[in-house]
Amino acid sequence: MFDFRAALLALPLAFQGFAALAQEFPLTIEHAYGSTTIAAQPQRVLTWGWVAHDVVLDLGVVPVGLPKVSYGGDADGVSPWTREALDALGAELPPMLGEASGEVSLEAMLALDPDIILAPYSGLTEDEYSALSQFAPVIPFKTAAWQGNWQESVDVIGTALGLSERARTLIADTEALIASTAIEHPEIAGKSFLNFVNRNDGTISVRNSADPRTLLLVEAGLVSVAEDDTGSTGYTYSVSHENFAQLEADVLVAFLNTTEAAEAFFALPYIASAPHVTEGRVAVVDSEALTMAVGGAISPLSLRWGWPEFSTRLTAAAANAR
């Protein structure tokens, strides 16, 4: 298991050493709802949505509150890598807000007296942004809700907190972790792939080449053969179970919720007889936590937790592709 304590304690703890790494303030960040000016280096950091709280912790800062992440989380709504990071920093669990993918509770947020609210990977609405901005600087997503890769989140959070140098190091170290998979396992390099989720309605949703999950696999050395013209602003397109066997890729990556769900899916007649399945060319992610780590709320923290297991499954599937 990755040693979170050693990695995080190698960074200055929250607020210790901020001056040495600080950028000049004030600074202004452009985003989907306009721009936000941050007058001084934030001291009470609040996050919303997915990813941001993990990045903040990875930069050595303990948020004053955490959004609840039930999918793949524990009874408190905390992901395992988030819990381990808090423990490594010697921090108590901060007050919990509502579900990260739900509506903002203005009262709950303001009760924590934040001097910045970070939500670069979230569903924050413009009305919520406007309301929160009356009380603290707010950094929403760059282009659209729930869009953008993990590097963009790390970059903007590092900038907002005055920790850009540390953020750049975090990005570089994480990209090196992902790239090392192809170096250590050359059977992966250059293999074509598609990744998908089952919709439980006789179809699967295949993610296109712009999807963050697809981009992550490309970083590992694989080649996406997904359709890019999905006919919408979304990241996916549908393929019927009947046409599953016709998917043209060396490797398929299946994101399924549970072992039971995976067993049920691969027992379906059209699926069970498909060459990818019979030849062992499917990498299966069959738990909520691992799905979130490498296929949902992707962050450097989650990748250090989930990438070793995921890359093992990916390598096994790629080895069966000739």
Are 306 and 226 within one domain?
yes
DSSP, collapsed to helix, strand or coil, labels residue 154 as helix
CATH number of the domain where residue 149 is located: 3.40.50.1980
In percent, the amount of the chain with pLDDT more than 70 equals 91
Average pLDDT of span 94-105: 92
Last residue of a domain, one of 140, 173, 206: 173
Residues 48 and 97 both lie in one domain: yes
Q: Is 248 part of any domain?
A: yes
* pLDDT score at 14: 35
> Are 279 and 204 found together in one domain?
yes
308 located within any domain: yes
Q: What pLDDT, on a 0 to 100 scale, did the predictor assign at position 182?
A: 87
Q: What's the DSSP call for residue 94?
A: P
Assess whether 161 and 226 both reside in one domain. Answer: no
Q: Which of 53, 50, 46 is nearest to 71 (CA)?
A: 50
Q: How far apart are CA 18 and CA 41, in angstroms?
A: 9
* pLDDT value at 152 more than 60: yes
Both 273 and 164 in one domain: the answer is no
Note the pLDDT tens digit of each residue in 18-29: 333 446 899 999
- On whether both 296 and 269 belong to a single domain, the answer is yes
Residues 121 and 209 in one domain: no
**Residue 180 included in any domain:** no
SS3 category, 146: coil
Residue 238 has pLDDT above 70, yes or no: yes
Model confidence at 178: pLDDT above 90: yes
For residues 128 and 224, state if they share a domain: no
Quote the percentage of the chain above a pLDDT of 90. 85
Residue 127, CA distances (Å) to 99, 103, 160 in order: 18, 11, 22
- How far lies 270's CA from each of 79, 117, 241, 249, 267, in Å? 35, 47, 6, 17, 9
Per-residue pLDDT, averaged over 273-292, amounts to 97
Q: Is residue 158 part of a domain?
A: yes
Q: Choose the weakest-confidence range: 156-160, 208-212, 316-320.
A: 208-212
Q: How far apart are CA 301 and CA 141, in angstroms?
A: 20
- If asked whether residues 129 and 97 sit together in one domain, one would say yes
Residues in a beta bridge with 275:
none
Using an 8 Å Cβ cutoff, are 81 and 305 in contact? yes
Query: How do the residues of the chain divide into helix, strand and coil, expressed in percent and rounded to 5?
Result: 40, 15, 45
pLDDT score at 231: 56
Phi–psi pair at 210, nearest 5 degrees? -90, -10
Domain span at residue 268 reads 186-319
Same domain for 33 and 141?
yes
Position 235 scores a pLDDT of 83
Does 178 fall in a domain?
no
Residue 56 lies in a domain: yes
**Are 118 and 196 members of one domain?**
no
pLDDT at 322 over 90: no
Q: Which of the four pLDDT bands, split at 50, 70 and 90, describes residue 233?
A: low
Residue 232 lies in a domain: yes
Q: What tokens does 104 get?
A: 């903002």
pLDDT range class, residue 316, cuts 50, 70, 90: very high
Per-residue model confidence (pLDDT) at position 23: 66
Query: In this predicted model, what pLDDT tens digit does every residue of 256-265 receive, in sequence order?
Result: 999 999 999 9
Same domain, 115 and 196: no
Q: What is the mean pLDDT of the chain?
A: 91
| Separation CA 256–CA 53 (nearest Å) | 25
Of 173, 201, 230, the domain-final residue: 173
Residue ending a domain, choose from 173, 199, 229 = 173
- Give the number of domains in the chain: 2
Question: Helix axis angle, 212-219 relative to 288-295, nearest 10°?
Answer: 80
Kindly give the residue spans of alpha helices, DSSP state H, lying in the chain.
Answer: 4-9, 18-21, 52-58, 80-88, 106-110, 126-133, 150-160, 164-184, 212-219, 259-266, 269-272, 275-278, 288-295, 300-319
The pLDDT tens digits of the residues spanning 37-94 come to 999 999 999 999 999 999 999 999 999 999 999 999 999 999 999 999 999 999 999 9
